[in-house]
C-alpha cells in the first residue's frame, strides 16, 4: 500500500506534458498551444463610418484560469480595405496593454514570415500579470490581423511559462 501511495505522490509531482498542436485552415495558422484550445464564436469587430461591421474577430484560446492564457485573435476584414501597418500595429499593442491596465515593457517592429509585425512584452505595475505578444498584418484586398499573446500570473510554473514561450515561437501561417 505504501508503494502505491509513494507512486501516486511521485506522479503528482511530475509536470504535465504541455502542447496541443492546432491547425486552422479556416483562419490560416498553426500553433502549439500549452493545452487544448477552444475556438470562440466570430463576432463583428471593426466598423465603417456608417457603423456597419467590416471585419469579424475570433479568439482561439487555451488557458488555466488564474494561471496562464495563450491566445490568437484573428480579425478578418470582409470588405476591401487598405491598412497602414506601422501605426495600426502600434495602436493595437497600446490598446491591448491598456485594457489590462498594463504597460508595454518592450515594443519593436519586425516581420513574421515576411509580413509586417510588432513584437512586444508587457506587465502590470504590480507584476500580477505579464506576457508577450506579436501583432501581424497579412496584407491583401481583404486583410487579416493576427494578435498572438501570452499572459501569466505568478502562479504559473516554469514549465507553463516555457510552454507559453513555445506557443509564441511555434505560430506560423498555413
Distance CA 40, CA 116 (A): 25
The answer on pLDDT for 5 being more than 90 is no
pLDDT at 18: 55
pLDDT at 20: 81
Ordered by where they begin, the domains of the chain are 18-173 (3.40.1000.10)
Q: What is the mean pLDDT of residues 25-41?
A: 95
Distance CA 162, CA 157 (A): 9
- Of 151, 51, 66, 156, residue with least CA distance to 101: 151
58-96 burial string, b = 16+ CB within 10 Å, else e? bbbbbbbeeebbbbbbbbbbeeeeebebeeebbebbeeb
The answer on pLDDT for 110 being more than 90 is yes
The answer on pLDDT for 1 being more than 70 is no
The answer on pLDDT for 49 being more than 50 is yes
User: CA of 143: how far to CAs of 76, 125, 156, 162, in Å?
Assistant: 6, 34, 35, 31
| pTM check: above 0.75 | yes
Q: pLDDT grade, residue 68 (50/70/90)?
A: very high
Q: What is the mean pLDDT of residues 107-116?
A: 97
Amino acid at each position: 500500500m505504501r508503494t502505491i501511495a509513494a507512486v501516486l505522490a511521485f506522479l503528482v509531482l511530475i509536470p504535465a506534458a504541455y502542447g496541443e498542436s492546432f491547425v486552422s485552415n479556416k483562419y490560416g495558422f498553426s500553433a502549439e498551444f500549452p493545452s487544448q484550445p477552444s475556438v470562440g464564436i466570430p463576432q463583428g469587430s471593426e466598423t465603417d463610418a456608417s457603423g456597419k461591421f467590416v471585419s469579424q474577430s475570433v479568439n482561439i484560446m487555451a488557458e488555466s484560469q488564474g494561471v496562464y492564457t495563450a491566445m490568437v485573435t484573428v480579425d478578418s476584414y470582409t470588405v476591401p480595405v487598405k491598412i497602414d501597418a506601422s501605426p495600426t500595429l502600434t495602436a493595437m499593442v497600446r490598446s491591448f496593454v491598456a485594457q489590462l491596465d498594463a504597460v508595454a515593457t518592450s515594443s519593436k517592429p519586425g516581420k513574421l514570415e515576411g509580413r509586417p509585425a510588432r513584437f512586444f512584452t508587457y506587465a502590470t505595475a504590480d507584476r500580477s500579470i505579464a506576457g508577450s505578444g506579436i501583432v501581424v498584418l497579412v496584407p491583401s484586398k481583404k486583410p487579416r490581423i493576427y494578435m498572438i499573446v501570452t499572459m501569466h500570473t505568478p502562479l504559473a510554473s516554469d514549465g507553463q511559462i516555457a510552454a507559453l514561450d513555445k506557443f509564441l515561437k511555434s505560430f506560423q501561417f498555413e
